[in-house]
A = this chain, B = another copy of it.
Amino acid sequence: MEKKNKITIYDIAKEANVSPSMVSRVYNKKAGVSRGKRERIESLIEKYNYVPDEYAKSLKKESTKCIGIIVSDVCNPFFARILYECEQIAEKNGYSVFSFETHDSPEIEMRFMNMLSAQKMEAIILLGGESDWITIEHDYSACVQRIAKNTPIITIGRMECENVYNVITDEARAMRTILEYLIGLGHRSFFFLGGMSRTRSYADKVDQFTKTLCDYNIPKEKSMICMCGYEKESGYREMLKVLQQEEYPTVVIAINEIVAIGAIRAIKERNLNIPSDISVVCFDNSFISESMTPMLTAVGCNYEKFAQRLIYTALDAVNEAGRYTAGKIEIIESVFVIRNSVKSFN
C-alpha cells in the first residue's frame, strides 16, 4: 500500500470536470443532475473507490446515531451478554454501538470516555469499572461530571450527578432471595465467596447477607465471608482452604459464575459431592450456570430487560422528546432459577 492519499471529492470533481457539489449530489443520490454527468461521476467514484470522509461530514452533522459502551471485561459472560443484548436493541432503534474494553483500568476508562465524548457519541454506557465503586476517586468523578455536561452517561453503578443515569440490579433483593430459599431448605451456615470491597455490587450483597442472617436469628459464627475478587483461581484457592477446616458451611454462595467454577473445582478435587456434601449457588446466571454439573441454582438479572432499560434510558436522555421514560435511578429486578445444586435438609 503506497502513501495514504485518500481520494477526496475534489479529485473526483477535477477529473470529471465538474464542481465538487456535483459529486456530492451524485454520491448522495440527490435529484437534479444530468444523465451524462451522473454516469461519468458514478464511474469515477467506482474507479477510485471514493468514500466520503466521515470526519469531514460529521463536522456539519448534529446527530451521529452512535452510542459508546465501555466495558471492563468481555470475557466475563455477564458483561458479554449485556453487551450483546444492548447491541441488538440499539440496532433495532437505528443506533450503532461502539464498544471499548478497559481491563479494569480507570485510566483507560477515562481516556475512552473523553474520546467518545469528542467523537460525538450521543450517549455513553458504563458497564463495570470505577463507576461501580463505593468511593470514587476525585479524578474519575470529575471526569464523569465534565463529560456528562455534554453527553449523557448511563452506569450500572450508583453515581449521583447531573445527566448521569443509574440502571442497577437489585443485589440486596437477590441476596435475600437466595438466603431465604436456602434457609427454607434448612441451611444455617453460609459461605459467601468472592467480590471486592470497593464495589457497590459487593457491598450491597454483603450488607444484605449479614442483615438477613440477623433477621432470621441465624448465628453468624458458622457463616463465612471471603472477599477474594472475581477470578476462578481465587475462588478455587479460597474454597480449598475452607474445605480443609474441620467444619465448614453447608452452602457456598459465589459472587459470580467464574468464582463458582473455581469453587466447584476445589470441591470436586476433594471428592466432595454437590449437593449432597455441600451446596453451591451463584450470582449472574448466564449459560455457564446451566452448563455445569450439576446445573447451578442461580440468581441473575433478566438480561434482555436490563439491556433494554440501559438503551432506552440512553435514548431518552438523548431525545427528551419522551418516547421513552427514564428516571434518574432505575432498579431492575432479578430472576431466581432453581436447578440441582442445593441440598434440602427437610
The answer to whether B103 touches A100 (Cβ under 8 A) is no
Q: Report chain B residues within 8 Å CB of A139.
A: none
How far is it, in angstroms, between the C-alpha of A120 and the C-alpha of B54 when the chains are bound? 8
For A, the interface residue count at a CB cutoff of 8 angstroms equals: 60
Partner among B51, B73, B120, B152 whose Cβ is within 8 Å of the Cβ of A117: B51
Give A325-340 as 1s and 0s: 1 = Cβ < 8 Å from B's Cβ atoms: 0000000000000000
Q: Are A81 and B77 in contact (CB under 8 A)?
A: no
Q: Which of A52, A59, A83, A99 has the most CB of B within 10 A?
A: A99
Which residues in chain A, 284-312, are within 8 Å of chain B measured between CB atoms?
287-288, 291-293
For residue A101, CB closer than 8 A to chain B, the reply is yes
Determine if A150 is an interface residue (Cβ-Cβ < 8 Å): yes
- A293–B103 CA distance with the chains assembled, in angstroms: 29
Q: Are B74 and A103 in contact (CB under 8 A)?
A: no
A268 at the interface (CB under 8 A from B): yes
Contact of A118 among B52, B114, B268 (CB under 8 A): B52
A149 within 8 A of B: yes
Tell me whether A59 and B56 are in contact (CB under 8 A).
Answer: yes
Whether the Cβ atoms of B74 and A83 lie closer than 8 Å is yes
Which among A1, A57, A149, A317 has the greatest number of chain B C-beta atoms within 10 A? Answer: A1
Q: Does A91 contact B (CB under 8 A)?
A: yes
Given contact pairs A88-B103, A291-B292, a sample of 14 additional A-B residue pairs in the complex whose CB atoms are under 8 Å apart: A49-B149, A51-B118, A52-B118, A53-B118, A54-B115, A55-B56, A55-B120, A77-B77, A83-B101, A99-B101, A258-B287, A264-B291, A268-B293, A292-B292
